[in-house]
Amino acid sequence: MNSLNPISLKAFNTFGFEVHCHELYTISDKSELNTLFEAGLFDRNPKIISGGSNLLLTQDIKEPVVLNRIKGIRISEETNEHLSLNFGAGESWHESVMYAVHNNWGGMENLSLIPGCMGAAPIQNIGAYGVEIKDIFQYLEAFNLRTGKFEIFQLEDCQFGYRDSVFKNEKKNQYFITEVCLRLDKTPTIRTQYGDIQAVLDSQNLTKITIADVSNAVIQIRQSKLPDPAEIGNSGSFFKNPVIPTEQAAALQKQFPSVKCFPQNEKETKIPAAWLIENAGWKGHRRGDVGVHTKQALVLVNYGNGKGSDVHQLAKDIQEDVRQKFNITLDFEVNIW
Ligand SMILES: Cc1cc2nc3c(=O)[nH]c(=O)nc-3n(C[C@H](O)[C@H](O)[C@H](O)COP(=O)(O)OP(=O)(O)OC[C@H]3O[C@@H](n4cnc5c(N)ncnc54)[C@H](O)[C@@H]3O)c2cc1C
């Protein structure tokens, strides 16, 4: 749709910010991408939105906005042990997890209740409770916005890292992801070591743990810790956990024994950003109608009438304060437009 009147994007971002564009196109079938390509739309740096749950909209958008709504789930390959499942990029991530769990196909259950759509999940290699999409990823199909051709990206092509992939780096803004293929197990491996999953399951006295039990435990934990965007606008974790030299982490832990350190390799250690933000005194901080969530210091929130630019300023102030107090730079996990 091309409109003289501003089109509100409030319903298309989980922060709930009232930002406008003038051109909004909905893609529900991948052939529609060819039509937009022929019309020259992709020469004008379009912005792609799927679930809008990893976005901070700070101003009106001058470029065309393209909504990903490509649906469909199909089995593309099956053996006695595994299943390759192909999801249209506009399928809801959580509903896709529920579909797999319902069929007892293992691999996605620890990633229950993450908002957003399938097509965006590989972009930041979504992860939670000890699992990342890269662990079950087989390949994806994407439309090259410059050449108008569909391309396949195998696991190694995606260069997945911690909340990172090739689509956030050298291939940024060059592709529209149309389909994602995941490889799931018909005999699931149960993963309960991470976070409070095992404790929640222990309290239920189960005789045999299924992936449905793991999924339910993850949902229960997430609902108790994270604000529901339908109630308080947010985009989940605003900051990534910083990975710093192990020597620096050891010095930090000596000074602050309560900080948890997670060695990544021989040289690098991950530090919880939430600890840094909380210990810099920002947890629960409110500035007008935006703030830092009272229960989870990683989550910045819109209490209703805040602006994206206010959240951006708050995020930069937190970043600077943490840098001054701990000599650690926090990177944003959320995409800022
Ligand atoms: C309450 C809450 C909890 C969260 N918990 C987690 C968590 O545990 N782990 C985690 O990793 N993330 C988490 N997130 C972040 C978010 O849900 C994920 O990053 C999710 O994958 C974003 O999907 P989306 O469809 O909403 O993407 P969007 O916000 O619409 O887009 C994100 C980025 O991807 C691009 N993009 C979207 N779709 C496409 C496409 N089809 N092709 C090319 N580019 C595209 C956009 O242009 C944008 O740059 C959470 C968010 C919230 C609100």
Which pTM does this prediction carry? 0.95
| 55 CA closest ligand 1 atom index | 29
Active site residue 237: yes
Query: Do 55 and 136 share a domain, yes or no?
Result: no
Catalytic residue among 50, 163, 183, 235: 163
Amino acid 205: pLDDT: 87
333 located within any domain:
no
The 3-state DSSP class for residue 224 equals helix
State which of 68, 94, 121 marks the end of a domain.
68
Tally of structural domains, the chain: 3
Range of the domain at 162: 73-185
DSSP string, 129-195: TTEEGGGTEEEEEEEETTT--EEEEEGGGG--BTTB-GGGTTTTTSEEEEEEEEEEESSPPP---ST
Active site residue 163: yes
From first to last of its 337 residues, the chain has per-residue pLDDT tens of: 556 679 999 999 999 999 999 999 999 999 999 999 999 999 999 999 999 999 999 999 999 999 999 999 999 999 999 999 999 999 999 999 999 999 999 999 999 999 999 999 999 999 999 999 999 999 999 999 999 999 999 999 999 999 999 999 999 999 999 999 999 999 999 999 988 999 999 999 898 999 999 999 999 999 999 999 999 999 999 999 999 999 999 999 999 999 999 999 989 999 999 999 999 999 999 999 999 999 999 999 999 999 999 999 999 999 999 999 999 999 999 999 9
Ligand 1 centroid, distance to 151 Cα (angstroms) = 21
List the CATH number of the domain containing 292. 3.90.78.10
Amino acid 177: pLDDT: 98
Query: Do 132 and 59 share a domain, yes or no?
Result: no
Query: Do 163 and 248 share a domain, yes or no?
Result: no
Active site residue 69: no
Residue pair 301/290 in contact by the 8 Å Cβ criterion: yes
Contacts with 53 (C-beta within 8 Å, 6 or more apart), sequence order: 13, 14, 115, 116, 229, 235, 236
Amino acid 117: pLDDT: 98
Q: Ligand 1: does its nearest atom lie under 6 Å from the Cβ of 52? A: yes
